[in-house]
Amino acid sequence: MYSFKNDYSEGAHPRILNALMESNLKQTEVYGEDYYTKKAIKLLKQRIKRNDIDIHLLSGGTQTNLTAISAFLRPYEAAIAANTGHIFVHETGAIEATGHKVISIKVNDGKLSPSRIEPVLNTHGDEHMVKPRLVYISDPTEMGSIYTKNEIQQLSKFCIKNGLLLYVDGARLGSALCSEENDIELSDLGRLVDSFYIGGTKNGALIGEALVICKDSLKENFRFYIKQKGALLAKGRLLGIQFLELFKDNLYFNLAKHSNEMANLLKNGISKLGYKFFTYSSSNQIFPIIPNKLIKKLQDKYSFCIWKKIDDNNSVIRLVTSWATKEDSVLAFIEDMKNFIS
């Protein structure tokens, strides 16, 4: 059975495994103070084109979100997220467990904008309610959509005007940056947002996310927060080696580009068969609407998520491609759809 369920079903890119093996018996400093981590962070700063940022390597996305957001907020402050946002839906209440409410905004495309956020500020006006402080967005969103540079700029201006922090979940950031429709660079995020992270787990690494803190007031003593949340990895070199390998050339972006190409191949093939999509996506997640009878037949050979019921006869499924998705498997899926129809 071939999986289109997520983009982390495979292990890691062979170059990363080789780098881990080659360095395996070398002794290094621990807790992220090693040579590999320091060099990886230096490379990331060069990519982002800022030397005055702080970068911390953590092992997973939920861990990164809860560590960062709980550190950035005062006890009475809350985060704002789309109702599809990962911190609102798929992190088992991790942010709430740290004492911070997540205020959700209903959206169809997964994206937030100033006009969608403003009503939240208008209805949270005094000390009898939580104080909205941090705007959480994902790029790409959980619905596969990506933000344009103008949209990020508008959010940045709005947040500065209203004393809000702007935080970007970059679990699939590589996919967004390598989308054919993208006009954002890493350096733009370094200028426009207060903090973001670069996801490795879903783009060729075994584990690993690189948290970037741009705003000075958020940097102080952050390693204490990491340790308190159980996120300060003793063998920090494991993360450093992976990000060094991903960013010493264009491997990170090449892997994300492949993932997007496979998603486009799937999308075009399904579209030619006459099926519509629940939402528009230019990243590595697509959401076709297909008959339930066809879903049952496809499930005999493929695994994927059934996203939403449309009616008694049709449902939305989510198909996700990865850095390791094989073109032959994509073509086979499309051919099977075609055969099952006939």
| Inside any domain, residue 9 | no
| Inside any domain, residue 333 | yes
| Predicted confidence (pLDDT) at residue 9 exceeds the cutoff of 70 | yes
Domain final residue, candidates 197, 216, 247: 247
Please tell me the predicted confidence (pLDDT) of residue 342. Answer: 62
Which pLDDT band, with edges at 50, 70 and 90, does 183 fall under? very high
| Inside any domain, residue 4 | no
The 10 Å Cβ neighbour count of residue 265 is 17
Residue range 317-325: mean pLDDT, rounded: 98
Residue range 34-58: mean pLDDT, rounded: 98
- Distance from C-alpha of 40 to C-alpha of 247, rounded to nearest angstrom: 7
Residue range 53-64: mean pLDDT, rounded: 98
| Predicted confidence (pLDDT) at residue 274 exceeds the cutoff of 90 | yes
Please tell me the predicted confidence (pLDDT) of residue 48. Answer: 98
Residue range 83-87: mean pLDDT, rounded: 97
75 and 203 co-located in one domain: yes
Residue range 5-19: mean pLDDT, rounded: 97
Domain final residue, candidates 207, 224, 247: 247
CATH number of the domain where residue 47 is located: 3.40.640.10
Please tell me the predicted confidence (pLDDT) of residue 76. Answer: 98
135 and 159 co-located in one domain: yes
Output the 3-class SS for the chain: CEECCCCCCCCCCHHHHHHHHHCCCCCCCCCCCCHHHHHHHHHHHHHHCCCCCEEEEECCHHHHHHHHHHHHCCCCEEEEEECCCHHHHCCCCHHHHCCCCEEEECCCCCCCCHHHHHHHHHCCCCCCCCEEEEEEEECCCCCCCCCCHHHHHHHHHHHHHCCCEEEEECCCHHHHHCCCCCCCCHHHHHHHCCEEEEECCCCCCCCCEEEEECCHHHCCCHHHHHHHCCCCCCCCHHHHHHHHHHHCCCHHHHHHHHHHHHHHHHHHHHHHCCCCECCCCCCCEECEEEEHHHHHHHCCCEECEEEEECCCCEEEEEEECCCCCCHHHHHHHHHHHHHHHC
272 and 212 co-located in one domain: no
102 and 242 co-located in one domain: yes
CATH number of the domain where residue 284 is located: 3.90.1150.10
Residue range 316-330: mean pLDDT, rounded: 98
88 and 221 co-located in one domain: yes
Which pLDDT band, with edges at 50, 70 and 90, does 131 fall under? very high
Please tell me the predicted confidence (pLDDT) of residue 340. Answer: 82
% of the chain at pLDDT higher than 90: 99
Q: What is the mean pLDDT of the chain?
A: 97
Residue range 7-29: mean pLDDT, rounded: 97
331 and 198 co-located in one domain: no
Domain range holding 229? 14-247
64 and 126 co-located in one domain: yes
Domain final residue, candidates 188, 220, 247: 247
Return the higher-pLDDT residue of 339 and 97.
97
Q: How many domains does the chain have?
A: 2
| Inside any domain, residue 321 | yes
183 and 122 co-located in one domain: yes
94 and 175 co-located in one domain: yes
